[in-house]
Structure 1
Amino acid sequence: MFLYSLAAQSCGGVVQGLNGTIESPGFPHGYPNYANCTWLIITGERNRIQLTFVTLALEEDFDIVSVYDGQPSPGNLKMRLSGFMLPSPIVSSGSILALWFTTDFAVSAQGFKAVYEVLPSHTCGTPGLIPNGVIHGSRYNIGDKIRYSCESGYVLEGHNILTCIVSAGSGAQWDFPSPFCRAEGACGGTLRGTAGSITSPGYPTEYDNNLDCTWSILAEPGDTIALVFNDFFLEDKYDFLEISGTEAPSIW
């Protein structure tokens, strides 16, 4: 005969204040199985909330933190996070931002740590650092611009200059998603955000021989992805671009 007891760790709740930190239960020593935690960040009317993940280590596909733009309901889902890839800072459109953290019955990891900051309606908040990149500029109000560059040995993909603009219904926001830096000679990667660009290595000059590049574009559940080609020229019958998703792949 044996006696087994499990002490549930409390988590979640209503969070208020100009800034603060939210951590998974047990962070950084590992979260429990069967966790089910909901945090509700609330600020004053006309303000928004910026959430930045500084650590993310979850069992891929099974332990998930969902971020909602407003109350935690399916229609407000903004992002689902799992695994180890840190997202760009997340900004709410209103005065409420919610997090819902769930885990399965086995395998744990370090967990997550996120910091939040209340944003007045006239500021976009920091667009965030990018791996192997440098951000130039420290003002994030409407009309301000910031510029990205990459460290030596890396090439910038995306827009290098972002401008804080007025967005109807959601205050201020950056006009483009943050770019990323890829290693010189490398290609492919994972892209998030509401808009962006992909180019063949070396574009608009010629690409190298023997390339094998894969880009993954991630959207939120319920969203679709539109891919528009502005320029397209490959060696006929020898160089190919394959596009695949929920439908059968197409070869170009």
Structure 2
Amino acid sequence: MKSDRTFNFDYEWKKRCQCGAEIKNAYSDDWATIKSPDYPTPYCNNMNCTWLIQAPPQHRIVINITDFLTEIDQDFLVIFEGNSTNSSHLAFLSGMEQSENLIASKSNQMTIVFISDLSLSLRGFSLDFKAG
């Protein structure tokens, strides 16, 4: 008897504790995502990840934090206006955050930094962004 059933699967080898691409482009027609390393499994200790989000000229960047859980007062997500950590920060997050508000830049660039210490690691974060 002939069967018309098949079984397919894909896999991907991935190193743990990798921050991923440092430069992200934001487009107005679609949301993109940044996640903490290894999300939703716990991120690694001693992480220091920086992402620069760039939108087209005359646009700003809008962020929606969809999930957030880090060690309170020890592991942080900081969102800065512009292309530097020397700029003013738009958000400073730690612990369990739930936000119904979008975070918006004033310019077409935004810098995001995620820092973890050497102890407890939790689920981390997932955020969506686009040009607005």
Q: Gaps (5+ residues) in structure 1?
A: 1-6, 120-252
Matched, 1:14 2:16: no
The equivalent of 1:250 in structure 2 is none
Higher relative CO (CA 8 A, sep ≥ 6), structure 1 or 2?
2
**Which amino acid in structure 2 is aligned with residue 14 of structure 1?**
I
Whole-angstrom distance in 2 between the partners of 1:40 and 1:71: 6
Q: How does 1:59-208 map to 2 (within 5 A)?
A: 59-87=71-99, 88-119=101-132
**Which amino acid in structure 2 is aligned with residue 31 of structure 1?**
Y
- Residue pair 1:31, 1:108 contacting (<8 A) in 2 also: yes
Whole-angstrom distance in 1 between the partners of 2:88 and 2:96: 23
- How many percent of aligned residue pairs carry the same amino acid? 27
**Which amino acid in structure 1 is aligned with residue 94 of structure 2?**
S
| Residue of structure 1 aligned with 2:60, choices 48, 53, 72 | 48
Whole-angstrom distance in 1 between the partners of 2:59 and 2:118: 38
User: How many residues align structurally?
Assistant: 113
**Which amino acid in structure 2 is aligned with residue 11 of structure 1?**
C
**Which amino acid in structure 1 is aligned with residue 118 of structure 2?**
F
Shift of 1:17: 3.8
- Residue pair 1:69, 1:77 contacting (<8 A) in 2 also: yes
Please say which structure displays the higher CA radius of gyration: 1
| Residue of structure 1 aligned with 2:43, choices 18, 26, 31 | 31
Shift of 1:75: 3.2
Shift of 1:8: 5.9
Moved over 3 A (4+): none
- Residue pair 1:72, 1:99 contacting (<8 A) in 2 also: no
- Residue pair 2:32, 2:128 contacting (<8 A) in 1 also: yes
**Which amino acid in structure 1 is aligned with residue 56 of structure 2?**
G
Q: Gaps (5+ residues) in structure 2?
A: 1-14
**Which amino acid in structure 2 is aligned with residue 33 of structure 1?**
N
Shift of 1:16: 0.9
**Which amino acid in structure 2 is aligned with residue 104 of structure 1?**
D
Cα RMSD between the aligned structures? 1.4
Secondary structure, counterpart of 2:74 in structure 1? coil
